[in-house]
Amino acid sequence: MQLQEAISQRISEALQAVFQVTVDAGQLALQPTRKEFAGSFTFVTFPYTKQVGKGPEQIGQALGEYLKENAKEIRNFNVVKGFLNLEIEEAEWLHLFREIMSNPDYGQGEASGRNVMVEYSSPNTNKPLHLGHLRNNFLGYSVSEILKANGHDVMKVNLVNDRGIHICKSMLAYEKMGNGETPESSGMKGDHLVGKYYVLFDKAYKEQVEVLAAEGMEKEEAKKKAPLMLEAQDMLLKWEQGDEQVVGLWKKMNSWVYAGFDETYRTIGVDFDKYYYESQTYTLGKERVEEGLQKEVFFKKDNGSVWVDLTEEGLDEKLLLRADGTSVYITQDLGTAELKYNDFPYDQSLYVVADEQNYHFQVLKATLKKLGKPYADGIHHLSYGMVDLPSGKMKSREGTVVDADELVQEMIDTARQQTEELGKIEGFTPEQAQELYHTLAMGALKYFLLKVDPKKRMLFNPQESIDFRGNTGPFIQYTHARISAILRKAGEMGISLDATSFADFKNLHETEQEVIIQLVNFPAVVKEAGNLYAPSVIASYAYELAKSYNRFYQEVSIFNETDEQARSFRIALSAMVARFVRESMSLLGIVVPERM
């Protein structure tokens, strides 16, 4: 039984003994005591005033006195208005610490039997990954790891947007202006090369629109009638019809992009269990549209386009298939949802997609419910806010996209500069130094993007993220490296990390107790992060643990301590902090170095 459960049980017994009020221990909510008050757990008495017939402070005082007298875990208490703050006996904290030491799976949830599929990244094959993709990838990877830690069976998938009008734009521009250029001949990564032609298409297309508008055509009409747009639409039609030349060009350009994406994924440290491709799912989506027509839950308009009416669901009428028979995003999403469920019968399917698509996923879920699909209820849109730089929002079509590869390289260069200035690489080989710069850069980038609640739009500041002080990845990484040095020194001195080496240790320093409390809370933090799909909960925990440890390190001596039991305990405490810093950062996809 965890300490929090034990305290809840004692309070339940106290309510019965003092006031003859029966409340199940599982219904009693405890919260961490606020820092300005003495105590570890706080019980709120306001909800019980009617049942007991007394004021909240009187209830708190009576319960506190009973618990201090009858509960071995309670050392003392104080009441602040309707809040009963409970101080825990030192022996309980030491007992819990020893239990944590002996349990290598502490914080890992038992197998839940639930299947969860997490779809993230979802790039388009007409341009490279950008800053927004980085938040998406880090969020998807981290949520997957957190859900695994909660005992769920998780499958990480990537749906590649490899077909559609936007892909044809890059292909058409390359066909007209490429002159046989390849990644090898240009010295560019494949995804960057294809992205270059997407930008060139947009530039030429806009010029055509301006010319038509200048000739007196309405702007909206000019956008539809511009020759390049008509050619791109024709190319899409040819692709869907299996035109050999168009499909050949599509395969060649996509292969360049995939090689580029793979390189970026390796660099940023994310992976996938399975890839899906829209080119392989849109036909299944068309079958689902046909099924909806037969079930009369979809309808055709006079021009032949197919729609679903979701006005009763508080949404709108939604296009499912164009008049010319070509599919739209929702078409392939209907197919992909079925394919995913057939491959991995999920209880929940998470889509990590920016909040600009909130409406789209409401429509997807509602449409699948109309079709009577058993997996419709499991669909969950893990919506996240956009990422801005101090210079403003990114726009890929103008060619001003904040490129992921360039940003990662900039972060590595910044990590090198900061580390060299601080002189933290003495004794490193050039290869080790390079690995450290990459570790720090990715730690800074991932932590900065994940420490914010996913739903919030955020401003990313590269310089601020890589600071070795404050709420940053490098600060936490440095704390781990510092502890690793302590543990190496302890090993050289032959000091045992076994719990028997401090069997009679007493008199915890307040900073030691604070660190133990943080360690004890780890399972609850992992559970909360899993319930909320929020890596920010883990990031906050890692930072608070590192802060608590650094306070302990400043106030309590380790190697100068003359009492051998106290010294052994402090080294063991340091080892456990390193372990939970490592585990929590690993849940964020962040590596912590042994040396800095």
**DSSP symbols for 183-195:** HHHHT--HHHHHH
Structure tokens at 352: 């990590």
The pLDDT value given to residue 282: 85
Structure tokens at 495: 């000091």
Average pLDDT for residues 333-349, to the nearest whole number? 95
- Go through the chain and tell me how many residues it has: 596
- Position 171 pLDDT exceeds 70: yes
CB atoms within 10 A of CB 324: 12
Average pLDDT for residues 264-271, to the nearest whole number? 97
Give the C-alpha separation, 228 to 261, whole Å. Answer: 28
Burial class (CB in 10 A: 0-12, 13-18, 19+), 537: buried
Average pLDDT for residues 133-140, to the nearest whole number? 96
Contact status, residue 298 vs residue 292, Cβ threshold 8 Å: yes
Give the C-alpha separation, 135 to 157, whole Å. Answer: 16
Q: Give the pLDDT band of residue 166 (cuts 50, 70, 90).
A: very high
Structure tokens at 386: 């956009």
Give the C-alpha separation, 393 to 199, whole Å. Answer: 17
Give the C-alpha separation, 352 to 349, whole Å. Answer: 10
Residue among 373, 310, 291 at smallest CA distance from 337: 373
Structure tokens at 508: 């915890």
Contact status, residue 454 vs residue 146, Cβ threshold 8 Å: no
Q: Give the pLDDT band of residue 400 (cuts 50, 70, 90).
A: low
The pLDDT value given to residue 391: 64
The torsion angles phi and psi of 217, rounded to 5 degrees, stand at -80, 145
- Position 389 pLDDT exceeds 80: no
> Which strand (E) or helix (H) includes residue 98?
helix 90-102
Residue among 63, 114, 56 at smallest CA distance from 86: 63
| CA trace torsion 188, 192, 194, 197 (10° rounding) | -100
- Position 110 pLDDT exceeds 80: yes
Average pLDDT for residues 350-360, to the nearest whole number? 94
> Which strand (E) or helix (H) includes residue 299?
strand 298-300
Give the C-alpha separation, 35 to 54, whole Å. Answer: 28
Contact status, residue 163 vs residue 239, Cβ threshold 8 Å: yes
Comparing 35-39, 67-71, 112-116, 172-176, the range with the smallest average pLDDT is 35-39
The pLDDT value given to residue 123: 94
| pTM of the entire predicted model | 0.91
| 459 DSSP β-pair partners | 388
The pLDDT value given to residue 387: 85
- Position 137 pLDDT exceeds 80: yes
Contact status, residue 439 vs residue 480, Cβ threshold 8 Å: no
The pLDDT value given to residue 422: 80
Give the C-alpha separation, 568 to 565, whole Å. Answer: 5
> Which strand (E) or helix (H) includes residue 317?
strand 317-321
Mean pLDDT score of the chain: 92
Residue among 238, 225, 257 at smallest CA distance from 168: 238
Q: Name which residue leads in pLDDT, 349 or 402.
A: 349
Contact status, residue 167 vs residue 124, Cβ threshold 8 Å: yes
- Position 168 pLDDT exceeds 60: yes
Contact status, residue 354 vs residue 386, Cβ threshold 8 Å: yes
With both helix axes pointing from N to C terminus, report the angle between 535-555 and 564-587 in degrees, rounded to the nearest 10.
Answer: 160
Structure tokens at 595: 């040396």
Structure tokens at 261: 């994406």
- Percentage of the chain surpassing pLDDT 70? 98
Cβ within 8 Å of residue 500, ≥6 positions away: none
Tokens 């240009």: give the residue: 186
Residue among 291, 289, 254, 290 at smallest CA distance from 275: 254
Comparing 154-158, 214-218, 325-329, 379-383, the range with the smallest average pLDDT is 325-329
Amino acid at 154: V
pLDDT tens per residue across span 279-309: 988 889 999 999 999 999 999 999 999 999 9
Q: Name which residue leads in pLDDT, 1 or 25.
A: 25
Give the C-alpha separation, 394 to 464, whole Å. Answer: 20
Contact status, residue 86 vs residue 67, Cβ threshold 8 Å: yes
Average pLDDT for residues 181-186, to the nearest whole number? 97
Residue among 424, 570, 418 at smallest CA distance from 509: 570
Mean pLDDT is highest, among 45-54, 263-272, 410-419, 497-506, for 263-272
Average pLDDT for residues 201-226, to the nearest whole number? 95
The pLDDT value given to residue 399: 46
Q: Give the pLDDT band of residue 401 (cuts 50, 70, 90).
A: low
The torsion angles phi and psi of 321, rounded to 5 degrees, stand at -150, 130
Beta strands 30-32; 41-44: pairing state: antiparallel
| 243 DSSP β-pair partners | none
Average pLDDT for residues 50-73, to the nearest whole number? 93
Q: DSSP characters for 110-158?
A: PP---EEEEE----BTTS--BHHHHHHHHHHHHHHHHHHHTT-EEEEEE
Q: Give the pLDDT band of residue 398 (cuts 50, 70, 90).
A: very low
Quote the Cα angle for 99-581-112, to 5°: 65
Cβ within 8 Å of residue 392, ≥6 positions away: none
Q: What is the 3-state secondary structure (H, E, C) of 20-89?
A: CCCCCHHHCCEEECCCCCCCCEEEECHHHHHHHCCCHHHHHHHHHHHHHHHCCCEEEEEEECCEEEEEEC
Give the C-alpha separation, 75 to 82, whole Å. Answer: 20
- Percentage of the chain surpassing pLDDT 90? 80
Average pLDDT for residues 252-260, to the nearest whole number? 97
Structure tokens at 338: 């079925």
Cβ within 8 Å of residue 325, ≥6 positions away: 240, 304
Q: Name which residue leads in pLDDT, 37 or 117.
A: 117
